[in-house]
Amino acid sequence: MLFNSLSFVVFLAIVLGLYYSRLFAWTNKKRMLLLASYVFYGLWNPPLVVLLWISTVVDWTAGKKLAVLENQRKRKLWLLLSLFVNLGFLAFFKYGDFLLENFTALLNAIGVEYTARPMDIILPMGISFYTFQTMSYTIDMYNRRIERARTFLDFALYVTFFPQLVAGPIVRAKELITQFYEEKRATTQQFLWGLFLLTIGLFQKVVLADTLLSGTADDVFGSRDVLHSLDAWTGTLAFSGQIFFDFAGYSTCAIGIALLLGIHLPDNFRYPYAAIGFSDLWRRWHISLSSWLRDYLYIPLGGNRHGITRMYVALTLTMLLGGLWHGAAWTFVVWGALHGIYLIVERLLRGAIKIKINAWNGIILALLTYTCVNITWVFFRAREFSTAKNMILSMFFLNEDGKKVLYTFDIIKVMLVILGLFLCHWVMRNTSMKAVAGKTNPWVFGVFWALLFFFIVISQGSGEQFIYFQF
């Protein structure tokens, strides 16, 4: 079920009606939310709900054992069981065909003729998100950072909470499970702000991502021709805007829907395209994933505690695996590798060059960061390395006689949207939407909200699923 569908509007209205009904006690309301979450997920492919059940039961059981066992060997075995089940599901369903293809290619490369029949595995929606979320619970239990969930119902709802189940934010147990212990009801102010966040999120997805930008990105990256430099840059910029509005739109919708229920979810984006440098970027982009990778991968690999060389190795491995998390393709690995290289180069330059950031050089550095990020988006979006190669060559003016596939109107439209996006991020980089809304005249805010709703209604978006559903 998609947030940007009429069926979800009906679904949400029913859930809210039951949630705020005085006919049910809090425990029954949680059961209703759990059932609604299974319905929300199961409408894509009902049998795949079984994977959620298995992960839930395994990690609940592992958590119970980790809470009482003192024998370190037994505790480690229960943690390994949790990791084996969760990562096993992820490896099979997300990377099964990818591993088979590469194994076949390796055999053929060394002279062994072998042809494997594709397994055509169905990728469960959101498996990367809920796998990381439930794994964080058992890892934190093993490290004694949290108390185990009070009831199985609380834990099951934590794993499957429908607003953020499919595409995040990836929420830690200490941030969400404890909110289920006592009845939650949104105040009038929280409910209205939740509705506004839902509106903003849908506007980003339906109007900006799908209607204004996705067509241009598809035309450019779907072309088999060597493109003109302007078209290559326009298509890449269009995708950079599309993926931000699409993913940030989902996260904003999720936070807003949860707030309608009186539940708080953490921010997942903080105006990342105004980041000054790549460390700053990853503190602003997909915050729940970058913090997960930092806490459960980078730091356990040594982080910055064991010398420069160990730190660079840990950083490189973290970004490579972060790239592979996004998709089963070598283009995603290259995307992660580029970000790893950027972070290493940034650290080297920071040690050699001291720059005092001000408003003038800050915006130049932010533009430089954004330009470098766009180069990585080429590998993220391209389906094949040949496409990525031609795009990069065109963007650096190394392809002569490139073909133009975009109309002038499309180019102007994308440039205006991206310019507005960058300026908005720059102005908002040190504040928040809620802070700005609090300073805005209520009548002006109401008109702005009405305009957002109007553009959503008249938009020609075709109900496309969110990009990160495929991850």
Q: How far is CA 382 from the centre of its chain?
A: 18
CA distance 136 to 409: 47
Q: What is the pLDDT of residues 426-444, one digit of tens each?
A: 999 999 999 999 999 999 9
What pLDDT does residue 281 have? 95
Confidence band for 333, pLDDT divided at 50, 70 and 90 = very high
What is the Cα–Cα distance from 116 to 374, expressed in whole angstroms? 36
Dihedral through CA 395, CA 400, CA 403, CA 409, nearest 10? 50
7-54 confidence digits (pLDDT tens): 889 999 999 999 999 888 999 999 999 999 999 998 888 888 999 999
| pLDDT above 90: percentage of residues in the chain | 70
- Sequence spans of domains, the chain: 21-184, 189-470
Query: Can you name the residues that pair with 420 across neighbouring β-strands?
Result: none
The average confidence (pLDDT) of the chain is 90
pLDDT in tens, 200-237: 999 999 999 999 999 999 999 998 888 999 999 999 99
Is it the case that residue 366 has pLDDT exceeding 90? yes
Q: How many residues does the chain have?
A: 471
Within a 10 A sphere around the Cβ of 432, how many other Cβ atoms? 12
Mean pLDDT, residues 173-196 = 94
Task: Express each pLDDT in 227-273 by its tens digit.
Answer: 999 999 999 999 999 999 999 999 999 999 999 999 999 999 999 99
Question: Quick one: pLDDT at residue 462?
Answer: 56
pLDDT band (50, 70, 90) for residue 461: low
Task: Give me the active site residues, please.
Answer: 326
Structure confidence at residue 393 (pLDDT) = 93
Peptide bond into 169 cis (omega under 30): yes
Question: Which is higher by pLDDT, 180 or 358?
Answer: 180
**pLDDT-based confidence at 402, cuts 50/70/90?**
confident
Per-residue pLDDT at 286 exceeds 80? yes
Alpha-carbon distances, residue 226 vs 232, 330, 383, 395 (angstroms) = 9, 22, 15, 11
Between these two residues, 399 and 299, which has the higher pLDDT value?
299
* 3-state DSSP helix/strand/coil % of the chain, to nearest 5: 70, 0, 30
Q: Which residue has the higher pLDDT, 164 or 469?
A: 164
| pLDDT for res 238 | 97
pLDDT at site 66: 95
